[in-house]
Homo-oligomer: A and B are copies of this chain.
Amino acid sequence: MKEYWSSRIRQLTPYTPGEQPKVQNLIKLNTNENPYPPSPKVTEAITAELGQSLRRYPDPEGSTLRAALARRYGVREGQVFLGNGSDEVLAFAFQAFFGPGDTILFPDITYSFYPVYAALFGIQCCTVPLNEDFTVPVEQLLGQHCGIVLANPNAPTGIELPQGELVRILEANPDVVVIVDEAYVDFGGTSALPLIDRYPNLLVVQTMSKSRSLAGLRVGFAFGNENLIQAVNCVKNSMNSYTLDRLAIVGAAAAVEDEAYFADRCAAVVNTRAWVTERLEGLGFTVLPSKANFLFASHEAVPARALFAGLREAGILVRYFDAPRTDQFLRITVGTDEEMATLCRELERLVQS
């Protein structure tokens, strides 16, 4: 019916997040959550904040957390923006830099939220097909006078664009903002963060959801020069002054400060990813070279859709994107060694039967 809906909203198709099943005892490898719990310091910090303080508004600037991020990443506080998950950070950044009538470019295979934001804000999209091997066709992103959005490592492929190539893109597009979405960078990728002082058109977006095991706390952040950060803040402060609650601010700050725990858990995911890749290749899978906490894998003989259904029946949830070029692949989050051993056994059974 859609009576009363504004005309732009009538035409939207919202983003569909991966399933959050209510059934227990599933092995959940479908939304790229970290298999390890967050640092115990997160629980401590949140526990200390509970009670009386909740009656008060949070600090709208999230200063404690911004300071922790600035220290950890060696930037100034004015170069840090905070949001309610990197999805919100991206939504604000799209509005800050691109308006109705503007066009943005991104690969045809990438995070499927980008075209949704664009439709919401009246921004035109132009997609650039990835190369046959799923790498980014850099030449097609040079001097286009359109905003550019790149997930790096890309999703759902896991492939990283080398930093030299990113620099080419930044230098060939000095007149537009390039948003680099680094949700998965901490699992062996190279962050573009050191480039923000050199390139005033670079916004780097990251999240606590994956590498810091805090998907449930909703904290994302961005780095860029002060001018870009001010623009994103202007949007945020025109929508909602207090996007991060008190518990998210203190919990995320504690996670950032526990560097040893973070490094250790990221290394564990990277180790698991290595042996699972080998094992899948042994079973006849093509596995794209991943720098993320997931694998994008296609079997030479068995259709991905059948594997997806078979795994689901065996109580293992992975993600399947039923679209051209991706419909022969499964996206499999890297879980614990034990979970991944079960996954490999089930895939072996399915492939052989």
Interface stretch (choices A125-133, A181-189, A230-238, A320-328): A230-238
CB closest chain-B residue, reference A233: B14
In the assembled complex, the Cα of A136 lies from the Cα of B102 at a distance in Å of 41
Q: With A6-B95, A100-B100, A245-B216 known to touch, is A55 a contact of B38 (CB < 8 Å)?
A: yes
Interface stretch (choices A41-49, A152-160, A342-350): A41-49
In the assembled complex, the Cα of A12 lies from the Cα of B239 at a distance in Å of 11
Partner of A54 from the list B7, B52, B213, B245 (CB cut-off 8 Å) is: B213
Q: Is A241 an interface residue (CB 8 A)?
A: yes
Distance (whole angstroms) from the CB of A36 to the closest CB of chain B:
7
Residues of B within 8 A of A102 (CB): 6
Q: With A53-B216, A99-B7, A102-B6 known to touch, is A117 a contact of B239 (CB < 8 Å)?
A: yes
The A29-78 residues at the B interface (CB cut-off 8 A) are 31, 33-38, 42-43, 46-47, 50-60
Distance (whole angstroms) from the CB of A272 to the closest CB of chain B:
15
In the assembled complex, the Cα of A248 lies from the Cα of B236 at a distance in Å of 20
The contact string, 1 if C-beta is below 8 Å from chain B, for chain A 207-224, is 001000111111000000
The A98-152 residues at the B interface (CB cut-off 8 A) are 98-100, 102, 116-117, 119-120, 122
Residues of B within 8 A of A4 (CB): 97, 176-177, 200-201, 227-228, 231
CB closest chain-B residue, reference A6: B99
Interface size on A, residues (CB 8 A): 86
Residues of B within 8 A of A176 (CB): 4
Residues of B within 8 A of A242 (CB): 17, 85, 87, 215, 218
Q: Is A246 an interface residue (CB 8 A)?
A: yes
Residues of B within 8 A of A306 (CB): none
CB closest chain-B residue, reference A4: B177
A-B residue pairs in contact (CB < 8 Å), sample of 11? A4-B177, A6-B98, A6-B102, A14-B236, A54-B213, A54-B214, A55-B213, A87-B239, A100-B122, A117-B238, A245-B245
Interface residues, chain A, with chain B CB atoms under 8 Å away: 1-9, 12, 14-15, 17-18, 20, 28, 31, 33-38, 42-43, 46-47, 50-60, 84-85, 87-88, 91, 95-100, 102, 116-117, 119-120, 122, 176-177, 200-201, 209, 213-218, 227-228, 231, 233-248, 251
